[in-house]
Structure 1
Amino acid sequence: MEVKIGVQNAARELSVDTDAAPDAVLAQLETALKDETVFNLTDEKGRTVAVPAEKVAYLYFTADSGRKVGFGLGAD
């Protein structure tokens, strides 16, 4: 699943591919907000993104639909 993280005062959002469920990611953010700490999210390759929790503007979850390769996909 891809998680897009909007950060306050940043022009671009962060994109992280993770195996974590949306509920688990939201729980991590809620805990970080409550404790006034950093929100950490680790991707499928073991890389970690860290954002001060109070600076997270939004989270957007997208399901993996697989990568489409080639021309004429969907043409019968």
Structure 2
Amino acid sequence: MLGSAREEGARDRALSLASVPPNRARRLVRDDPRGTAPVADCSLSPRGIRATAAGIVPGARFRRHLYRRYSMLWTAPGTG
């Protein structure tokens, strides 16, 4: 699963700030028109996403990425 998380606290703001230079560089290199993909507001923080996922898919691995993004990977028990 891929998604975006709402900023919560100094660590999240620092990661967002760190994403500004690579984001600007990417826009100079890639012709990626803005506004072409549907986007929803981020309602949960990374902590909230982890807590919600723990109740639905226990053992999911959560990884933070730049631009307020995250990914989660879950493997069904007994399959891997």
TM value normalised by structure 1: 0.27
The structure in which a higher percent of residues are strand is 1
Flag the structure with more relative contact order, 1 or 2, with Cα contacts below 8 A and sequence separation at least 6: 2
The structure in which a higher percent of residues are helix is 2
TM value normalised by structure 2: 0.26
